[in-house]
Amino acid sequence: VVKKVADFELPYVSLQSMKELHCKLGIRKWYMDPSLDTLLMDCRTSLNLLYMQAIQEVKRNWVKPTEEQMQELKFLQKNANKAKFLELIREMQFYGYVRLDPCICDYLEEGCSADIYVGNNEINCCIKLPTKQTKEVSFKVNRLKSWQVAFLGATKDGEDDTLEFRFEYNDSGTWQWIIFYTKQAFLLSSCLKKMISEQMMKAAKEGQET
């Protein structure tokens, strides 16, 4: 399970307090709009951090390059051309997204499993139907009215706590509630807050320029 370190947390203290759970501390950028990378390219340290994160996303198959793009990425990595590597990978699906652990959802049918990617103003789900078919669905942030996280208590075997993330979404002109049952509900909520905040900042900046 992945969680975002809260603003009030001391990372080292949190890590030590969870030593027995074999937790690790990861460092990654905290913005959801991949185009913001361009603002950091002139800083060598930022460029290195972005490059290292991008390399990991490729290794973990979090991005979806074509075969031709994959060959070009390998060539750029071999030649340590970090700026060009990042320029190319920004064109690829799911680059810079936060990937959540697989979970259960009630869309399109009750009890479907879903792989969730969050970023670039969307929640993208690869939903596996009971018929074993898969369908990719994109929930756009600007069509989302509200969301909430609920604690449902422990599971029947008493091992894990269950969290419910539900959001109200405008699907073809009709508002409906969509539910994810995921341990990472709070991380998903944080990602949505960040995307909406970035949208508002971008709109405010564009308003000042006109």
Output the pLDDT for position 171. 87
- 44: which 2 tokens? 């060598």
Q: Given this model, what pLDDT does residue 177 score?
A: 96
DSSP class of residue 28 equals: -
Question: The pTM is what?
Answer: 0.87
DSSP for 144-203, please give it.
EEEEEEEEEEE-TTSSSEEEEEEEEEEETTEEEEEEEE-TTHHHHHHHHHHHHHHHHHHH
Question: How do strand 144-154 and strand 122-128 relate by DSSP bridges?
Answer: unpaired
- Within 13 Å of residue 100, how many CA atoms lie on the same side as its CB? 29
**Phi, psi (deg, nearest 5) at residue 157:** -80, -5
Residues of the chain with pLDDT under 70: 1, 20, 154-161, 210
pLDDT (0 to 100) of residue 136? 96
Taken in order of first residue, the domains within the chain and their CATH numbers are: 26-89 (1.20.80), 98-209 (2.30.29.30)
